[in-house]
Amino acid sequence: LVTGGSNGIGLSIAEASKEKGAKVIICGRNKNRLESVSEKYGFTSYVCDVSIEAQVVDMFENIKKDFGRLDVLINNAGYGYFAEIDKVDVHELINVLNTNVVGAILCGIETSKIFKNQNSGNIVNIASTAALKGFAFGTPYVATKFALRGITECWRAELRKHNVRVILINPSEVQTDFKLNSG
């Protein structure tokens, strides 16, 4: 499962996984783009805003019903919001936190239930070099990526005994439309 898998880094991961023989599931908020990408590449897709618990729970119920198992979660859904500290819009801050942090946690909660039951699995959290170092105007975005870094460490410690690997990838700048919050 690649969250945010219909464009950018997520789509590239989904394509590469498919080329290696994986059955690929993607999710995202944009139904039209999901359908188009799924048809083009042969992915299974679910419309899901990862920041909404009910949608995440429904998606995982469908995955269990449709596939019976899950081997990998690529927690990729996210977008960038950047502003000078005294110009941060609290509403936008909450939105980016909900997608980039709460969404990752909600997917982690549901995935961990499956992986514990299977006694196997892999979680790959896609962060950014912003998880390693802050920068001017980066407060909202950097906060989400530092959070994802800490979350990864916690999950690794908790899930290791269930044969679940948890890793963090910190790509540098990649030219995508993630700033557009387009799901």
Whether 141 is a known active-site residue: answer: yes
CA gap 28, 103 in Å, rounded: 11
For tokens 């039209």, name the residue: 32
| 63, 70 contact by CB (below 8 A) | yes
Q: Which residues of 12-47 are buried (b: 16+ CB within 10 A; e: fewer)?
A: ebbbebeeeeeebbbbbbeeebbeebbeebebebbb
The pair of structure tokens assigned to 134 is 């802050």
Among 46, 79, 81, 141, the one annotated catalytic: 141
In terms of Cα–Cα distance, which of 71, 88, 69 is closest to 21?
71
Q: Counting Cβ atoms within 10 Å, is residue 74 exposed (0-12), middle (13-18) or buried (19+)?
A: buried
CA distances to 102, 153, 159 from 147, rounded to whole Å, are 10, 10, 18
CA angle 59, 17, 149 (to 5 degrees): 70
Catalytic residue positions, numbered: 141
